Amino acid sequence: MSPSTRWTKTRDEERLGAEKGDTLKEFASMLDEPALRSTARLLILASLALNCRMGFTSLLQLTGLGKGSLSAHLDQLEKAGFLRLRRVLTIAGPKVVAEIAPKGLEAYEKYIRALEKLSSAKQ
């Protein structure tokens, strides 16, 4: 292998390393948002991004969290503007429905893009 070929590979490797570093920095910046530092909240956000809205009971079953814990996670996501909670009166009684907000959908899409970049950078 000639020195110039070795140099080209090294530059390419440096470029790929820099791209990975940029992707990791972008991914880490998402986690600077306190509401997105929990796997449970990320699961809730992803579920709502895919379904637009879900009832409290459905989210309980999906996440496996307790009522109090799920309620606390939903409150944090609502305060951060990632979702909206509505209380709906039904024949069976009041029902809590969570709907993804535009900010939540944007955060989900950004999260997925960052994961895709990390995955492709790995290869």
Structure tokens at 26: 């972008």
Distance CA 102, CA 58 (A): 21
Distance CA 43, CA 80 (A): 16
pLDDT digits (tens, 9 = 90+) for 70-96: 999 999 999 999 999 999 998 988 899
Contacts of 83 (CB under 8 A, 6+ apart): 44, 45, 48, 74, 77, 98, 99, 100, 101, 104
What is the identity of the amino acid at 3? P
pLDDT by position in tens, the chain (length 123): 555 555 455 555 455 555 666 766 766 666 677 888 889 999 999 999 999 999 999 999 999 999 999 999 999 999 999 999 999 998 988 899 999 999 999 999 988 888 887 777 655
> What pLDDT sits at residue 44?
96
Distance CA 121, CA 123 (A): 5
* Domain extent listing, the chain: 3-122
Residue closest to 35 by CA, chosen among 84, 85, 74: 74
CATH top-level class of 3-122? mainly alpha
